[in-house]
Structure 1
């Protein structure tokens, strides 16, 4: 039988914004639609896997985001230490997903070939393409390549029984989603393939996009990988913390246990 894993979403930052900023073409019923920033963690028979590494206070200040807790130290909320993590899946290299890599000194980083190609290639000569990247985060990842600490993937690959990565593209050239087997079935961490439930649910793309065709086709791929639409976890939606229960006392609004059944949204 396929091994069963625990999966957690950990909120580390937030940003106030309106719905019109979250959809190409805006939103007819514009109003507040804040963005939460998450890292994720998988725990199971193959050990502990971190997904993404977030950003630090310097990046938060530069970009006008509220950092609530460093995402690396926030792993301690569920009993894990960044220093001990052996594997980190990097969904893509945008600043809010690939900072703090130096705080994971024992980790191998899992990245799609096309993401490194994109982040270091010709498209980065254009401000509209490189604005969501931090050049120093990219350089640190290049340094990790030279240190033998990056494992590249080309498309779909099983990393361990019950854990796989899947090239989606769209938002960036090499964006990958993560599929995890849990007690409630196959959960897909969509990351920025769908920032909010409404992006994939209503077919309304987020404005930062490299390839629109890959983005919308990627939604179909994600639906096919997940046990049901309720098993798709978007990358930045505050609803995640309402739909899934916290794993313990004092963690409500901070950590969501994604392997548990959805609870009624308040």
Structure 2
């Protein structure tokens, strides 16, 4: 990839759940019921004349409904690092759970990239089962369906390069059509796992998050995440507060708001 300029990657924190515990974050629970909070992020990939956003988060009303601590809108967080949501042309949606696909009007010019399997899952027979519906919101799914009819969704079936040095990879597991994003950076290939692994501890220990579609696909997904990255340290989990500790702020004054993932970890 020597001819391609490396991308920069930013994680923007917009919400948190301070009440979660270890028993809630591992399939089968955990013998130690210790605090294990979650952070909620959207991600910005910038370089080579483009900016691509991964996931769109939820808004304040959804945070109240789901009892999550809302910090700031994802749009405000993006503006903090100089990104205008109105100018974004490509948004990758990792999956259609409520915390990854809200804020429907935030990117008015964008084309959305989604896996075939995820739309089929969120609109098919599996949603007849209440336990599988838990992380989905009907208005989120409906909003994405409207974008389909507006001609603003590009569907992918498996792995696909969407720009030079930037590709999506279907892993499934947590949700049937979940996709991760692989990015060429100054550190080599990095992988934004989104919910393919909520925490470093999930993939490092082979211990899935409790909410999933397939245990098999989740475990195989951990292996695939590491295969796609140049180094195991280059895989970024989707909800781990440790991300904010391991990486420097995107700019002075943005500590706890946005971190630069292509920088050397601490």
TM-score (norm 1): 0.97
Counting only pairs closer than 5 Å after superposition, residues 222-237 of structure 1 correspond to structure 2 as: 222-237=225-240
Partner residue in 1 for 2:48: 45
Verify: 1:110 aligned to 2:113, yes or no: yes
Verify: 1:178 aligned to 2:205, yes or no: no
Give how far 1:177 is off: 0.2
SS of residue paired to 1:25: coil
For residue 12 of structure 1, the aligned residue among 11, 14, 17 is: 14
Give the whole-Å Cα distance in 1 for the aligned partners of 2:22 and 2:178: 23
Give the whole-Å Cα distance in 2 for the aligned partners of 1:162 and 1:46: 12
CA RMSD in angstroms comes to: 0.8
Give the whole-Å Cα distance in 2 for the aligned partners of 1:7 and 1:101: 23
- Over residues 171-206 of structure 1, what are the superposed CA-to-partner deviations in whole Å (9 max), with x where a residue is unaligned? 011000000010011110000000000000001000
Are the counterparts in 1 of residues 77 and 258 from structure 2 also a CA contact under 8 Å?
Answer: no
**Gapped runs of 5+ residues in structure 1?**
none
Give how far 1:32 is off: 0.7
Give the whole-Å Cα distance in 1 for the aligned partners of 2:49 and 2:86: 17
Instruction: Show structure 1 runs of 4+ deviating over 2 A.
Output: none
**Gapped runs of 5+ residues in structure 2?**
none
Verify: 1:239 aligned to 2:251, yes or no: no
Partner residue in 2 for 1:130: 133
Give the whole-Å Cα distance in 2 for the aligned partners of 1:228 and 1:184: 9
Give how far 1:28 is off: 2.1
SS of residue paired to 1:8: strand
Give how far 1:137 is off: 0.8
Count of residue pairs the alignment pairs up: 263
